[in-house]
Structures are given as structure tokens and as C-alpha cells.
Structure 1
Amino acid sequence: MKVGILDSTLREGEQTPGVVFTVDQRVEIARTMSDLGVAMIEAGHPAVSPDIYEGIKRIMRLKRNGEISSEIVGHSRAVKRDVEVAAELEVDRIAIFYGVSEIHLKAKHHATKEEALSTIADVISYAKGHGVKVRFTAEDATRTDFDYLVQVARTARDAGADRIGIADTVGILYPSKTRELFSNLVSQVPNVEFDIHAHNDVGLAVANSLAAVEGGATIIHATVNGLGERVGITPLQQVAAAIKYHFGIDVIKLDKLQQVSTIIEKYSGIPMSPNYPVTGDYAFMHKAGIHVAGILNDPRTYEFMPPETFGRSRDYVIDKYTGKHALRDRFEKLGVNLSDEEIDQVLAKIKANQSAKFFRDVDLLEIAEEVTGRVLKPRPPEKIESLVWVLCESNVYTTAVTRRLSVLQGVKEVMEISGDYDILLKVEANDTVELNQIIENIRSVKGVKSTLTSLVLKRM
């Protein structure tokens, strides 16, 4: 099975209401997506505005310098002037779109079916004349008469397009119909490859994208955090995880998803729901006592894949749903030994508390001291752990600084964040002398303006 990801965060993603990327952000996002390993980056529609044009121009400069490896795609209406603008930027591919459903032909293009086919063939041929690869996207393909859709695809192929995008523009497909549609298209229109561009209006974009791959599609269009028109298109992190689980294929570097999601959250201004799949705060957080007991014995009981696959770690909440297994495990991690009777008493107090949403380690120690009548000394950490917040200079790419910081000795995890600081580091040292040296090394990295350090006193 052959499948890759086209990331459209810079094009479809910026069509999310309220989302606007600066030129610098566009370049940084392109770098990040290339580092993530996507096959193609849809860098935008350069004829829309000067900033998009400038962003693609700078992205292509990086591509020529070997700093970006993904194929760069420029978007275009089926209009020759749009094609010229994209071609002068020397993008790897021009993606030409045209609405082909009866609704679009009548209400938007005011064209007959024959006129539409003529326009599609003419503009694709014109683009090929500029020596560039072409993808043709049939907008609103899933509400188009199938026989006419076949004519459209054949026309695009014969005019020089080597890829055909099938757009579920209003998100009305369902998986079995998607699989059937692509299977029939692949058999009736050979010698061309197909993309799926699935909108998520009824929440089926991931399922439809997987079904399209089963039907023969070889590229899935996606955006980080599922950005896009209305409710967006196929979310990158969800579909990449699903492809790995169901098909055993690594379409991207899964352990970088959390970092990428955080960057897009920051630049889009759209906060991530904590229960968002794969990259949400709760994705590998367990609560119910029976669940926690299960994952303590074997994480596979309540995790579809190890969180480490995605650069994450598992945790569990201590609250009224907690069971004895979780409570004992937490106290053991703190280095505190309690008898079964004492565990039962602590658990009873936790369940009797109706106001606390969850209990921190310090809360648990206070309850345990109340129950036992002893002063409990938690085990000191074997190493010094700290969190270091980093503020970057205003004229540098945050991702460039992130890469420099990630290779420093003692730096265990690097996250780009939003707020007063740009980067959060998790640092580990053997003693205070080593910690101070690590912090000095962080401050000496080009692009770092200032830092703020907090020691981690207790692990959760």
C-alpha cells in the first residue's frame, strides 16, 4: 500500500476563520512540516495576497538550498494569470482547482459541462507548458455525477495532470461510499494518481481518508489540528496515528506531532481541546480506578499505542474515581510506604472530598500524615529536574532556536509554547553545578533572549 500526506496548513489551514499567518510564520511552518516528513506542503495560493507570495518565495529559496525536502505545491484557480503567478515562483507543483458539480457549474462558473472540460484542459496544458507538475482538484467532486466526474478526470489526465484531487467539499461522504468511489475512479481512469481532500463537516474526514486509501488514493490532504474552512479538514495527527495503527505505515515522524501541534496552536490562536486525540493533554491521561489498575499492569489494556510513539508519556489522575492500585503506585513513587489499612483510609478521605477536582502529591502526603499520625518524608529525587522557559529574540525563527536547544546535553524535552515565553525545556542534571552549566549553555544559544528556571520538587 502506498500513501503519503500533503499538509495544507498554510493554505486550507489559513482559511480557518480568524487565522492569519505572518510571512515568518509561514516559513517556519514549512520548515517544521518538512522536518516532520510530510510528502508535500501546500504552501498557499500566491495570487491571493503579497504576503502569501512572499512566503512561498522564501520557502522555495529554502527548498533550493536543501533545507526543505518536501514537494512544494502552489494553489491556483483554473485561470491562466493564477498559473503564471505560481509558475514564476518555481514551485514543484501547481494545484489547479475547478468546481465540477452541477451546483458549482451553474451557481459559480455559469458554464456548461462541455465548457468546463474545455477550461480544465486549456489551463492544465498552459501550466504544463511552464515545465511544472500539475495536480487537478475536482472541487465538490462528491456531489458530481460519477460519469461526468470520470470525464473530468480523464480530461485532466490527458491534458497533463499526473494527480487528480477528489474534494469532498462539504464533507458529505461516508467510508463505504468513499472506498467505492475511489476504487471505481482508479479502475476507470488509469495512469494517474488520486488525492483525497476530505472536509470534516460531520466528523468523518479521518474515516473517509482511510477509506479512500483502501480504494486506491495515494495522498491524503490534512492540516495540523484539523484547521480549515468551517470545521476544517482531516486532522494530521489523527490520520497519521490511524495509518500507523491500521496499515503499519509511518507517513510522518510521529514523535514530533506534539511539538508541531503546539506551534500551530500558538500561531493560529485556536486553543487545543484537552481531550483532542493524540496531542491533547488528556490523550494518555487515565482516571477511572479500573483503567489505572489496568495500565499499571499492562498499558495495552487502555492504550491503543504507547504514548512514547508520539513523544508523549502516560499519567493518571488521583480523585474520587481512583482505586487502591493507583494510590499505592503513587505513594510508592513518592517513596512512602503505607499499609493496606492506611491506603484504605486515605482513599476514603479522597472519595469523601466533594470539592477537589484532583489531588496533587502534596495533598496526598498531607492526607497520609493525617491518617498515620507520622511525618512522612518523600524520597528525594535521584536527579535534579527543572523546567526552563525560554524567550527568543524577536528577529529569529523559534523553530531554529528549538533545534539548537534540543541537542544540548541535559535537555530532555523541548516544546514550543504560547504566552510570555516561546519555548519550554525539561532539563535533568546530577547536581546544582551541572544544572547551572546547562542553563548557561541554554542562554548562550543564538536567538535566546532570556530564561526563567523552576525546579521540579515532586514528580507526578
Structure 2
Amino acid sequence: MILFENVRFLDTTLRDGEQTPGVALTSKDKVDIATKLDELGVNVIEAGSAITSEGERESIRAVVAEGLNAEICSYCRIMKPDVDYALACDVDSIHLVAPVSDLHINVKLKKDREAVRKMAIETTEYAKEHGLVVELSGEDASRADVDFLKSLYNDGVDAGADRLCYCDTVGLLVPEKAELVFSDICSAVKAPVSIHCHNDFGLGTANTIAALRGGAQQAHVTINGIGERAGNTALEEVVMTIEWLYKHKTGINTKEIFKTSRLVSRLTGIPVAPNKSLIGGNAFTHEAGIHVHGLLADTSTYEPIKPEVLGRERKIVLGKHAGKSSVTLAVKEMGFEVDDSQLHEILNRVKELGDHGKKVTDADLQTIAETVLSIEREAKVILEEYTVVSGNKVTPTASVKLKVDGQDVVEAGIGDGPVDAAFASIKKGVSGIADVQLEEYHVDAISGGTDALVEVLVKLSKDGKMVTARGSRTDIVMASVEAVLNGINSLI
């Protein structure tokens, strides 16, 4: 077998990913994510566990109804009622999970190996009789007796199982063992084997790659690596490792990875860590002057791949580590022409802000550059009035009066809170000149006490262009409004 040939991906963001504490996806959320996963090109979408609730079944049925290219799957225990619920959702396949370690068999199920074997065989046969594709999975396989595991797998295949899966349920594999185990198992069974890793020791991707090297033909993954405890193996890491480090195509549309990451982050409410590989906010962000100087000569000096491959853009951040190259590039991208003395003054002012612990946003740099160049910029969007109503049993509502290109505009909006409502009303107000999206929102209290000065940082985008902007007030809503308007005026 050729290494990494025809690797398949089962994405379990909607099942294992949703089991992240605090995450609950609506039916629409699941459809939106599933549609994006299908655009990525994953082979199987595990849409949920049909036995969970009627609401879960409605969500699975909604995903099935989209008619996606991907195979739609439901998680099932080795129990016939679970299969019946999956059948009622009209899924293509089931991920049939059998506990295989003695710890899980004896302590969790309070049964013995032969009872589990019987349940697995009977449930597999039942699912196949009803026309389902079956992926028989060994839960806690990394702590199971390998001989028992292989015999259970082979009995499952004899009962009709189409695929098998090895679950490293609490992340105890190490890469060298993973490759050896899969080399052994894949040569001993008569069906393709998947690898399903958890990231408890941070080895999810490494173990998944090692298992694929050992003969696994499908990887179970989630977007952003979300999942229970420390999460699951991240799709983006496995895909890009195979494509860029091992030089094999995966069939995944990598240019949609970043958009998918942001969609999942927004709908689950789980932020992506800034230093997360490939998709973190800092993955293609540069501040140090020497790095930017190298990038200007050749981007590969400080980037392993081009950000465009993931649907991203390179970003230069300014602060006390900024150098002449950073500022030159940043002001040029803003459309300013500066001479050496002006550049030197802008750089000094940027460093001064950085030395005081300030984050130098795009709006800050634009103000600095305009001040140094004595350019007066008239804001196209000016806040005249705003009102916010929020409280117990009251839908947060905001109304704003804006002057947009000299014209008075009054709009209202609702949201999950007063800030969200305020942004909704502003977005409506400027819709005639710009379709602005809020990408990130961050708030910090600058001082203590109930009258603390609050600093709000926002990241806004319009037609692929992105800016950051700041607002500082004692009123968090006003600080947010100020930041958003600063960003909008920078964008347009």
C-alpha cells in the first residue's frame, strides 16, 4: 500500500465536538457546519447521536435533508434501539461503538468480553439487515487486549461490518506504538481501519499520522480539535501535515479551512487560541522587525506555508518590537506615501505606544500616520445618539442615530446582549455603504472598581479586508460602539 493513498476523513465536530463542555448546537447550526464540512470535502459527517433526544434527531434529519455529498453518520451504542433511532433519521451509516478494554467492559458495562462480543455481532447484523453502512469501533482500544480486539474486529466483519475503528479514548497512545499497533491490526483484519484519537497529552495529530503510516485508511477528526476534555485530533493539522510535510494530496479543499474554523468557533462559542497551529490568530501574524524584514525578501523565511493555502491573509502587527520594515509595509498597505523622516516619526510613535503596553491597532496606525502627514480624514459614519434597553425578561434592544455620508440614519436591532444589539443596529445603519462583519471582540478592564475604564478591541472585515480598532470608555457598550465605528471608518 502506498503511504497516505486515498486517506478518508470522518469529521465528528457535530458529535464528539459538541460534547465539549458548554456547547449546544441548534439544528440550523448543525446544518451550517455540515454544509461547510461538505464543501471542505470530508468523506463522512458524524451528525450526532440519534439516541440522545428528539431535538438531536431533528438536527440529524435536517443535515440528511441537505442532500450533501458526504456520508451522514450517527453514533450508536451496541444496542438495537440506538440503531432504530438512527434508521428513523435516514442516515447512511452508523458509528457502532463497543467498549473493548476490560476496564470499560467490567467497570462501566459490568459485563464480560463474550457478552460484549455477542452484543456487537448482533447489533452489527441488525444494522446491516436494515441497509446501514456499519463502522464497528473499539472504545478504549489503546488499553484493550490486542488479541481480543482483533478477534472482535474479525467477528464484526463476518457479521457484515464495512469498516473498523480503533479509539484512543483517553489519549494514551504514543506515535511509535500507534504505527506498530496499526501495522499489526491492519494486516490481521479484513476491513479498512480508522483511527480516532483524543488529545489528552497533546499527541492527537502525531498519533493519527503514525496510525495512517501504519495502515489506517481513515482519520476521525474535528474542526479546531474541539471535543471532550483536551479535545480530538484537529482536521486542519492532519490535512496540512499530510499535504505539506509528506507531500500527498488529501482531497480536502484547504482554502476553506480557515472559514470553516471561524464558523465552528462562532457557532460553538469556543475561541481558537491565538497560538493554535495553522488557524490561530497569530499563526501568520508578525511583529518583530527582523522577521518582517525577512518576509519582505521571501515569505518562506518565517512562514512554513503561504497563508492563502488555508484561505488566510498575512498580518503585520505593530508594537514595541516593530521595525522599519514593519511600519513601511503597514503604511504602504494603507495607501500612504512617506519619506524617511516621516517614517522615522511614525515608527517612534508606534514604539512609544508599545512601550506603554498598548496594542497598536490599524486604526491607531492610521491616526498616527495621518497626524504625522497632517492629513485630516472626515469620518463617513458619525454617532449622533444611541439607546440600549436590557434587563431581566427583556430582549436586549438598541437604537442608533447615525450620520452616514452626511445623511441621518436611524436603525434598531436586537441581540444576545446590549453590545450585540448595538452592533446589530449599527450594521443595519451602514448597510447602504458597507457590509461589515464582526470577526473578533475582546474587552479588558484597564483599572479596578465599578467605574473601571474599559478597553474594547474589535476585528472587522469587509470584502476580504480586515482591520482592528479600539474604544476606551467607562461604559462597556459605548466603548464597543466607539471601537466598531472606528473600525468601520477605517474600512470605508
Which TM-score bucket, shorter chain as reference?
0.7 to 0.9
When residues 368 and 17 of structure 1 are mapped into structure 2, their CA distance, relative to the original with a 3 A threshold, is: closer
Q: Match for residue 457 of structure 2?
A: none
When residues 134 and 417 of structure 1 are mapped into structure 2, their CA distance, relative to the original with a 3 A threshold, is: farther
> Which of 463, 471, 477 is residue 427 of structure 1 equivalent to?
463
Q: Match for residue 428 of structure 2?
A: none
Give, as a single letter, the amino acid of the residue that structure 1 aligns with 2:176: S
1:145-184 deviation digits (Å, cap 9, x = unpaired):
2222211211111111111110000001111111111111
- Gaps of at least 5 residues in structure 2 are 378-404, 406-412, 417-432, 443-459, 466-483
2:86 matches 1:53: no
1:186-218 deviation digits (Å, cap 9, x = unpaired):
1111x3001111001111111111111111111
Q: Match for residue 300 of structure 2?
A: 300
Q: Match for residue 40 of structure 2?
A: 36
Give, as a single letter, the amino acid of the residue that structure 2 aligns with 1:137: S
Q: Match for residue 75 of structure 2?
A: 75
Measure the CA separation in 2 of the matches of 1:168 and 1:69: 28
Q: Match for residue 174 of structure 1?
A: 174
Contact kept, 8 Å, 2:139 with 2:167, in 1: the verdict is: yes
When residues 312 and 412 of structure 1 are mapped into structure 2, their CA distance, relative to the original with a 3 A threshold, is: farther
Q: Match for residue 264 of structure 1?
A: 264
When residues 457 and 88 of structure 1 are mapped into structure 2, their CA distance, relative to the original with a 3 A threshold, is: closer
Contact kept, 8 Å, 1:266 with 1:417, in 2: the verdict is: no
When residues 108 and 375 of structure 1 are mapped into structure 2, their CA distance, relative to the original with a 3 A threshold, is: closer
Give, as a single letter, the amino acid of the residue that structure 2 aligns with 1:253: N
When residues 375 and 110 of structure 1 are mapped into structure 2, their CA distance, relative to the original with a 3 A threshold, is: closer
SS across alignment from 1:10: coil
2:247 matches 1:243: no
Q: Match for residue 202 of structure 1?
A: 201
Measure the CA separation in 2 of the matches of 1:237 and 1:192: 26
When residues 365 and 26 of structure 1 are mapped into structure 2, their CA distance, relative to the original with a 3 A threshold, is: closer
Give, as a single letter, the amino acid of the residue that structure 1 aligns with 2:211: A
When residues 221 and 327 of structure 1 are mapped into structure 2, their CA distance, relative to the original with a 3 A threshold, is: same
TM superposition shift of 1:79: 0.7
TM superposition shift of 1:74: 1.3
Give, as a single letter, the amino acid of the residue that structure 2 aligns with 1:222: V
Measure the CA separation in 1 of the matches of 2:185 and 2:435: 48
Where do residues 203-222 of structure 1 align in structure 2 (5 Å cutoff)?
203-222=202-221
Where do residues 54-453 of structure 1 align in structure 2 (5 Å cutoff)?
54-63=58-67, 68-189=68-189, 191-247=190-246, 248-333=248-333, 334-339=335-340, 343-344=343-344, 346-348=346-348, 350-353=350-353, 354-360=355-361, 363-364=364-365, 375=374, 426-427=462-463
When residues 74 and 363 of structure 1 are mapped into structure 2, their CA distance, relative to the original with a 3 A threshold, is: closer
Contact kept, 8 Å, 2:462 with 2:491, in 1: the verdict is: no
- Taking structure 2 as the reference length, what is the TM-score of the superposition? 0.73
Contact kept, 8 Å, 1:266 with 1:418, in 2: the verdict is: no
When residues 368 and 43 of structure 1 are mapped into structure 2, their CA distance, relative to the original with a 3 A threshold, is: closer
TM superposition shift of 1:453: 9.3
Measure the CA separation in 1 of the matches of 2:276 and 2:204: 15
1:245-293 deviation digits (Å, cap 9, x = unpaired):
1233244222222222222222212222222222222221011111111
When residues 137 and 366 of structure 1 are mapped into structure 2, their CA distance, relative to the original with a 3 A threshold, is: closer
2:14 matches 1:21: no
Give, as a single letter, the amino acid of the residue that structure 2 aligns with 1:56: I
- Aligned residues: CA RMSD: 3.4
Contact kept, 8 Å, 1:411 with 1:428, in 2: the verdict is: no
When residues 192 and 418 of structure 1 are mapped into structure 2, their CA distance, relative to the original with a 3 A threshold, is: farther
Contact kept, 8 Å, 1:259 with 1:415, in 2: the verdict is: no
When residues 245 and 56 of structure 1 are mapped into structure 2, their CA distance, relative to the original with a 3 A threshold, is: same
Measure the CA separation in 2 of the matches of 1:35 and 1:51: 25
When residues 352 and 178 of structure 1 are mapped into structure 2, their CA distance, relative to the original with a 3 A threshold, is: same
2:8 matches 1:10: no
When residues 110 and 296 of structure 1 are mapped into structure 2, their CA distance, relative to the original with a 3 A threshold, is: same
After alignment, is 277-286 or 156-165 more displaced?
277-286
Contact kept, 8 Å, 1:263 with 1:417, in 2: the verdict is: no
TM superposition shift of 1:349: 5.2
1:415-454 deviation digits (Å, cap 9, x = unpaired):
88899xxxx762399xxxxxxxxxxxxxxxxxxxxxx998
Give, as a single letter, the amino acid of the residue that structure 1 aligns with 2:50: P
Contact kept, 8 Å, 2:7 with 2:250, in 1: the verdict is: no
Give, as a single letter, the amino acid of the residue that structure 2 aligns with 1:195: S
When residues 11 and 309 of structure 1 are mapped into structure 2, their CA distance, relative to the original with a 3 A threshold, is: same
When residues 350 and 306 of structure 1 are mapped into structure 2, their CA distance, relative to the original with a 3 A threshold, is: same
More relative contact order, 1 or 2 (CA 8 Å, 6+ apart): 1
- Taking structure 1 as the reference length, what is the TM-score of the superposition? 0.78
SS across alignment from 1:75: strand
Contact kept, 8 Å, 1:11 with 1:44, in 2: the verdict is: yes
After alignment, is 208-217 or 28-37 more displaced?
28-37
When residues 69 and 369 of structure 1 are mapped into structure 2, their CA distance, relative to the original with a 3 A threshold, is: closer
Percent identity, aligned pairs only?
35
Give, as a single letter, the amino acid of the residue that structure 2 aligns with 1:29: I
